[in-house]
Amino acid sequence: MTQKELEIILTRQLASYLATPIFIVDPDGSLIFYNEPAEALLGRRFEETGEMSAAEWATLFEPRRVDGTPVATEELPLIMTLKSRTPCQSDFWIVGLDGRRRHLDVVAMPLLGQASRFLGGVLLFWERGASP
């Protein structure tokens, strides 16, 4: 596996200390890490899912709007952020890998490193509510 950029390593280390759920992707959108609070919302430990491509994670959690319509991959805030390199936010329902539905607020931010290198993005979650 190739060496991660320092800023990404530090972001992971910060995320591992925070109680805020965080999901980190590289510039291609591949998931490279999510922290323990995110594991609780996504329903599976990162060690079990491992890294995965954008095409995989974008559909894995079955994101749906409040009205029940599916959120297309290109409409997901993190995917939009990677494309535009600007912040995006939204709320939607997901189905965690533990089978539970959760209503999440999400904020996606681009990660820019030293010399303005584009390193990917982070997604911050906030749980609004859950249904069994």
Partner 1 sequence: MRVTLWGTRGSLASPGPDTARYGGNTVSAEVWSDDGHVLVLDAGTGARRLGASLAGRVKRVDLLITHLHMDHIQGLGFFAPFYSPGLEVHLWGPASSTMSLRTRLGRYMSPPLFPVRLRDLPCDLTVHEVPCGKFHIGPFTVDATMICHPGPTVGYRVNVGKTSLAYLPDHEPALGLHGPLLPDGWTSGLELAKGAGLLIHDAQYDDEEYASRIGWGHSTMRRTIEFATLAGAERLVLFHHDPAHDDNTLDAMTRLALAAEKPAMPVSLGAEGERYDLAER
Binding site for partner 1 (CB under 8 A): 1-7, 9-10, 12-14, 16-17, 113-117
Say if CB 125 and CB 21 are below 8 A apart. Answer: yes
User: Minimal distance in Å, beta carbon 7 to partner 1?
Assistant: 7
Closer to partner 1 by Cβ: residue 49 or 73: 49
Taking the complex as a whole, the smallest distance from the CB of residue 1 to partner 1 amounts, in Å, to 4
Comparing CB distances to partner 1, the nearer of 17 and 131 is 17
Contact 58, 79 (CB under 8 A): yes
As a whole number of angstroms, the distance between CA 100 and CA 24 comes to 22
Element (H, E) at 94: strand 88-95
Of the pair 54, 119, the CB lying nearest partner 1 is at 119
> What are the phi and psi torsion angles at 31 (to 5°)?
-65, 125
Nearer to partner 1, 6 or 66 (CB): 6
Structure tokens at 56: 């995989």
> Which is closer to partner 1, CB of 7 or CB of 75?
7
Smallest separation, CB 81 to partner 1 (Å): 20
CB distance 125 to 19 below 8 Å: no
Question: Residue 132 Cβ, how far from partner 1 at the closest point, in Å?
Answer: 35
Kind of pairing between the strands at 22-25 and 31-34: antiparallel
Q: How far is the CB of 92 from partner 1 (least distance, A)?
A: 30
